[in-house]
């Protein structure tokens, strides 16, 4: 009887350790926003104190989605996404550091931008319906009709992002379709590279402007 109670106690203790360890791992992978705010101190100069950059060439990070933010920072750190202006910024950060920073920025509210009225009609059509004759899918399929993205799937929320930044990234994806010097970290399916490759500069600028106004 005594041996049974000891084994039972040990079993519960082991179970408790497993539960605690599991909880800790989940917490770590989800990031700690408070810790992330401190670790993001050097990011403020380009991305703003709350992740809303004032300069259109620097992306707004606020509310983009934790999974997406974490992947991009890891890709930059591990040289899968070369970004000259980010050189050295995250090189010495651990996965936990990056998860914390992603958690901080994802808790911030993204500010809006303004769309060019002359580009809204074309931009809306591409965003909501794509370009059928060139098999360009609707942006809304992944990024939602309102531009809020799909966090669990890792598709970023784009609404309110700087039009200039969105256009530059689409052009980098387009370049990456054939040239590894472009943006190639969109996954093996090459969805963004294939999509951008089939779009003209005018169409890219129009949809980027429409997204900025969402």
Confidence of residue 76 (pLDDT cuts 50, 70, 90): very high
Confidence of residue 70 (pLDDT cuts 50, 70, 90): very high
Question: Do residues 148 and 69 both lie within one domain?
Answer: no
Last residue of a domain, one of 76, 106, 136: 106
Work out how many domains the chain is built from and give that number. 2
C-alpha closest to that of 200 among 170, 162, 166: 170
Instruction: Give the CATH number of the domain where residue 154 resides.
Output: 1.10.760.10
Question: Do residues 87 and 150 both lie within one domain?
Answer: no
Task: Give a yes or no: residue 5 inside a domain.
Answer: no
Is 70 exceeded by the pLDDT of residue 54?
A: yes
Question: Do residues 136 and 202 both lie within one domain?
Answer: yes
C-alpha closest to that of 59 among 46, 42, 72, 71: 46
* DSSP string computed for 46-75: HH-TTS--SSTTSPP-TTS-HHHHHHHHHH
Task: Give a yes or no: residue 204 inside a domain.
Answer: yes
* Total residue count of the chain as it appears in this document: 214
Rounded to a whole number of angstroms, the distance between the first and last alpha carbons of the chain is 68
Task: Give a yes or no: residue 114 inside a domain.
Answer: no
Domain that holds residue 52: 31-106
Q: Each residue of 110-167: pLDDT tens digit? A: 999 999 999 999 999 999 999 999 999 999 999 999 999 999 999 999 999 999 999 9
What phi and psi, each to the nearest 5 degrees, are found at residue 73? -65, -40
Last residue of a domain, one of 65, 84, 106: 106
Q: Each residue of 163-213: pLDDT tens digit? A: 999 999 999 999 999 999 999 999 999 999 999 999 999 999 999 999 999
């Amino acid at each position: 009887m005594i041996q049974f109670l000891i084994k039972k106690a040990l079993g519960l203790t082991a179970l408790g350790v497993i539960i605690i360890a599991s909880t800790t791992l989940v917490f770590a992978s989800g990031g700690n926003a408070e810790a992330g705010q401190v670790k993001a101190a050097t990011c403020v100069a380009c991305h703003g104190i709350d992740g809303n950059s004032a300069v259109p060439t620097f992306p707004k990070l606020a509310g983009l989605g934790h999974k997406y933010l974490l992947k991009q920072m890891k890709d930059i750190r591990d040289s899968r996404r070369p970004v000259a202006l980010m050189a050295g910024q995250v090189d010495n950060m651990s996965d936990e550091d990056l998860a914390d920073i992603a958690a901080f920025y994802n808790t911030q509210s993204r500010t809006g931008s303004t769309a060019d009225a002359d580009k809204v009609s074309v931009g809306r059509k591409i965003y909501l319906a794509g370009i059928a004759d060139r098999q360009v899918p609707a942006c809304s399929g992944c990024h939602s009709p309102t531009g809020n993205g799909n966090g669990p799937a890792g598709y970023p929320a784009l609404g309110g992002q700087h039009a200039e930044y969105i256009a530059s990234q689409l052009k980098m994806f387009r370049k990456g379709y054939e040239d590894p010097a472009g943006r190639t970290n969109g996954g093996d399916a090459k969805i963004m590279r294939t999509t951008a490759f089939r779009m003209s500069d005018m169409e890219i600028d129009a949809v980027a402007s429409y997204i900025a106004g969402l």
